[in-house]
Structure 1
């Protein structure tokens, strides 16, 4: 049936051409943007997933930057710690040299003093962006942001690498727990190292009851023996020598006369000597009361007075100018122990440095993997789209030709009315 009102062939050709043009527009959009899913209308589910993952990837990029800052901080701390280790080793060699007979200890002390200044400079200089893990005030846990995690429920959390500065601090102004500072193991409470003091009963016939007292020196204000600390000295009485070790029964209360008395009683027997600490002057004394005339001529002597500490050595306070040989040997051991602590801290920093670098590599690879995953969802296959474009262009040309032919059919009806 031929009709001038309804051209079914033209209508079909027109719908086909519109469909082809729409598909052509979509393909051209994919080619121009590179995305198969560029908008939510293209595929709402894929677009939503891709948008969320792009946001997470941006956050991971910030995590990677934070790891870079952390790596710089660790590297600076490790570099300074390594320099401190070498300097401590040099100080130890100077102490060994000072142990030789007839050595001018004052000159060696000048060298040690310069090395001590180096130690302080290294610690203070190990700063990056305001952070310093070697010269701190109080204990703290420094955190390096290391990961961005989205849980199954959509909740976000950040993973961190924690650095305990109490294990890396060389100096701590908030306490005496730095690796190079302590309670002053070789000059504590104003007591002279290696002090030798003595008292002897007069053989000229002192009456029974006369006292002989030996002064150990004066304790400075605030002097305490903390847990792990001890005051040691040798007491010789009439040819018999005992090593006395005094610890504070209550570290919070500090050293008290009862602590000293208990140590003396343990060595010589109860009530043989009397210990005293003057509450006003801080003077520490040991007394022996002569009970009869046979005590005359007997002597009491205190030697090798020192304080020891398990809480670390005050390396910056070392002074060997007048240090006896026995104390010098102990000091060498203490410096060696401090060197071991610094070596352990450097090892810890090295492990943290390795972990930060490993995390940097992982985050970088993870970001690449997320990009690939997003690409699988929304990227256009350019080879496929190129082939489709050519096919649609041919379909478009054919559709235009078909519409032209369909419209031409109506013109043929006019020939029926020609005379």
Structure 2
């Protein structure tokens, strides 16, 4: 079962809510939330994130703390934050946290890290830097969230049985396929009756992130240096948009014009109706079950240009709202979840790359596909590069704007040049408004 699909969509929506909220003062460790006496800790996260056994274990280890889990809900979180009555912990993405941090909605966790005996700043994987904020930009300064696990999400998984049936050579495990080659391969793996797709891009989850990676691979940049303006009119951006239009017009995979019913590639892939899906290392966690399909393999992130870039689109993690009432208790749960048995179990399950360096050795290598995927993931670490994260616009707005004009270009209502200009204009208006709001 793919437990990530709802989480990823929830993350994108949750990031979007921050743009409408007023600026609030940040808080630091030890300013509120004593764990003495009885404390009810409210955690807004995915239903699958905290099991009953984990909750029981944590509460046994921490008498007096009761954990109440509420399902991730962007609208509800928005309301709670605006009312000054937020959950004690919220789920969110490192890539996309700049907007939240710029508005002072999150607690600085640096003082907690400094005192912690189980979570050490030196043990954090670089992906955690997405939660850093220095008052002007992400990636630097104090840290406002801790990543749960992560993946380089533009890598590929494919069904070797479908490649065999179509007599198509397997994707290389060491040499990146170009995007043009990938589209050609996908056409060969797409059935004429429409029952089998050649390639899935998890279109419903993200467009900004993969397109941004494509631009980086060509040596370009979508944003200017202070992240106040975007440029989709560049040659690099238009080449990426053109590829997406070509993909959509070739009908080799789902788009927002012909979406999958459940909004995720997994069920279609597992049903042998999709040959390739662009998903991170975490996707391999689906196949550890003895009853799961075994004809799977992982391949490096495809490239557009000369520079390999394998990047995470989100880096799911937890953060403590600035106005949370039980911060000390919340930190205890973060320590347990991010460094205790739950973190060790996640690392050994294959559901993502550990967010702590000390847990990397626990990544599974028992099954043949796990060994192969582990090596690909390790090799791809050399090509890790963070995506730009502007504090003045939300990830959700970026995705919906790009999708709006890609749809029109696929339907030939706009040229790619016209779509690029329209995307640039719309996002720059939003960036200007966001800059005026934040200051």
> Which has a greater percent of strand?
1
Larger radius of gyration: 1
TM-score range, shorter chain: under 0.3
